[in-house]
Chain A
């Protein structure tokens, strides 16, 4: 294998010693730049390392996201962590094991075929030969480049990978521990930050006397430019201070937004950078019947249950930062640059927070703490965000308008298909487009002006265009992308980026085409799929749900299907939803089949997929961010209802077994298919297609009236 075939993480961190060490006897220290954001990655990486090294899971000491010792692996996002981060670790561990065995074979004068490893101890002809990784570590230097030439184990030989190992982080969390939020050093200084209500807003008045009074205990106010922070030894005092400041601060200038921001007509009226990509086929459009449908999704927020938290300490010119962000190495670089510090004077430590689901405010909270700490050397500063700020100042997932048009040939199948999308970019994480994107940095004097922004590149899966190319066999497909670069909101990544809305639109449209052709929608899909894995997933979910028996049952409920392969390269996922529509949409039952290739931890994968299904259902049924008075007006769960216990039906998930295929990312694969299946079930129950999301009572009623 040549080095450019190595996974990206390994290209960027080529030395074996960047990934593993045999320090304490019996324990292997594995370092990773991928971080736990609720997805179970630490458990999966532990399994991969233990498998390839032939040690037990408990012998792995995994250190994650600490920039002084871990490989820099960008963001834990895009369902890449297991395939790229895990793929790198697999190569490294297989190679390290081979190096040790080669050294031992030399010493014993035997061949490596005579050697085996058990719990890290070496066996010669089945007998413990008195050596192990730790006793030989001094003789096997790991400061060498990974070559990627040692074959990893065959799946048939796996003992640990492919088993549902329990999550390593769960026991502590079930005792109430394990979160960054619970770190509270003795000298901790609590802080809260006043957020600008819209981009570049100028703080014209802050009634500091009222803020001090509300705090009820001594606090300090740190004001610089449009940045204001409240600090105190008492957390409740700064909470009260910040709440009063939020309500009383007066702001001017800046870029207020209109109430109708994000609506379809608004999106289409914005300046845009346009491109047309002939994704499949070219030449003359075939004759046939033209059909067209317009879809729309609103702005959403990621809505983690725990507001973000960050800690920092600045002493002797060195800054330490603790964060639950998705990309510690990236944050490291951008905190240093925003504070004008050298990289080697900053260390970022990842600690676990609440689920991320995309670009959240974790980086912002870390930078808040870091900046305040540099002003108050010697103290550990702990910043936590309020729920209100989480809604009002977090990155938002973009509204999108999606128009689908097709030409239907005599066989009832599309001979030509155009996907046209209007959307702001779906990624403004730290460092993207050369911007820090760290919220507080823009409130400080001398803020670096924002550079023009672009969407995620197509070779990274695209942003708004993610999954815009239908998975079906289309002779011709054209993508028209209107990227809106001037929307004054921090539009960024939420689970699946543009994929879930594109899948919603495509899968609803395909159902309409099937109906027009007078065919069963699942059979219609199968007839346009030549990828056997795609077919198998659809057939599996049809069997699980009894799709073909159920179709004619008439108890007021209806079934719908949604299918996609995430990014057209990650996991395949098909979902069938049974729902009723009375006052509101009620989900009765959900079935899902997925193909994720080699699965490291089947139960972990099912857990992720179920979570994605529930989140996808929540997106299409409930969620939408509101704007008013120039700013985000949504600021509580009441304003932003998500699916609750009483909304969640029983969900059956089956993984199609394909252990000899490469591991495919699963974290996001269920979101789009779940939403689409709901859309199709609702259309079938109502007899009317709802193309404007979410599927709330108000939206359904108004679209029924127009129908």
Chain B
């Protein structure tokens, strides 16, 4: 294994790490960059807890090698809110109380960001398709679906920044 210098943008900030390029992106985010919002659930692309956006697309950061994101843009849950200001998705999940233990939420919000980016009025079926990679053992599925739809409505009516 060889340590390399890898650069990419995380949540709008340039990141520079020196790691073996086969290290999973999740490990780099959590350890080297101290961004612990993305969660480890399985390590094998089976639960979605680790979902992040790479160039706007949801990817499983638990298996994605950090070398492959060199020069790209990564977004994690930490980018959703600034100080006290909540992203409409976070607000909608609070409004719908879409959470029990909450461990799945980071990944679910990330996939929802990607969905709403391309479709602000998703049908129930469209939300389900976008969230299908995610497991939730607590059973917040219906609340999450409603929250995503609600956030879509808010985003659609908000002046774009």
Contact = CB atoms under 8 A, between A and B. Distances in A.
Interface string A177-216: 1110110100000000000000000000000000000001
B116 to A, nearest CB: 15
B100 A638 contact: no
A136 to B, nearest CB: 35
Interface in B27-51: 27, 30-31, 34, 36-44, 46-47, 49
Counting chain B CB atoms within 10 Å of each CB, the highest count among A37, A307, A386 belongs to A307
B127 to A, nearest CB: 8
Contacts of B143: 607, 610
Interface in B99-141: 99-106, 109, 127-129, 131-132, 134-141
A176 to B, nearest CB: 2
Given A170-B94, A235-B27, A387-B44, A37 B135 contact: no
B1 interface: yes
Interface stretch (A313-321, A328-336, A639-647): A639-647
B109 to A, nearest CB: 7
Interface string A572-598: 000000000000000000000000000
Interface stretch (A88-96, A350-358, A474-482, A536-544): A350-358
Nearest to A648: B141
Nearest to B90: A174
A637 B102 contact: no
A454 interface: no
Nearest to B103: A354
Given A175-B80, A234-B31, A306-B49, A38 B138 contact: yes
Contacts of B36: 176-177, 181-182, 184
A181 B143 CA distance: 25
A636 interface: yes
Contacts of B39: 176, 179, 181, 306
A239 to B, nearest CB: 8
Contact of B137 (A175, A353, A355, A603): A355
Given A175-B81, A176-B37, A603 B30 contact: no
Counting chain B CB atoms within 10 Å of each CB, the highest count among A37, A176, A179 belongs to A176
B24 interface: yes
Contacts of A179: 39, 102-103
Contacts of B141: 614, 643, 645, 648
Contact of B100 (A38, A182, A184): A38
Nearest to A614: B139
A376 interface: no
Contacts of A174: 80, 86, 90, 93-94, 99, 102, 105, 109
B145 interface: yes
Contacts of A176: 36-39, 76-78, 106
Contacts of A603: 97
A173 B105 contact: yes
A265 interface: no
A607 B141 CA distance: 10
A235 B31 contact: yes
A576 B132 CA distance: 25
B100 A355 contact: yes
B97 A236 contact: no
A357 B31 contact: no
A211 B16 CA distance: 29
A638 B46 CA distance: 7
**Secondary structure of the B side of the interface?**
loop
Given A611-B139, A644-B135, A645-B128, A170 B93 contact: yes
A650 interface: yes
A305 interface: yes
A608 B142 CA distance: 13
B7 interface: no
A646 B132 CA distance: 7
Nearest to A354: B103
Contacts of B23: 236
A175 B132 CA distance: 21
Nearest to B106: A176
Given A170-B94, A175-B78, A610 B142 contact: yes
Given A239-B27, A305-B101, A357-B137, 17 more contacts: A37-B101, A170-B93, A174-B86, A174-B102, A176-B77, A176-B78, A234-B31, A303-B137, A305-B47, A353-B103, A386-B43, A387-B41, A610-B139, A610-B140, A645-B141, A646-B128, A651-B142
Interface of A: 37-40, 164, 166-167, 169-171, 173-179, 181-182, 184, 216, 234-236, 239, 303-307, 352-357, 384, 386-387, 603-604, 607-608, 610-615, 636-638, 642-646, 648, 650-651
25 contacts: A38-B138, A39-B100, A170-B97, A171-B94, A174-B93, A181-B40, A235-B30, A236-B24, A236-B27, A305-B41, A305-B101, A306-B39, A306-B40, A306-B103, A355-B103, A384-B40, A387-B43, A607-B140, A611-B140, A614-B139, A614-B141, A615-B139, A637-B42, A642-B135, A645-B131
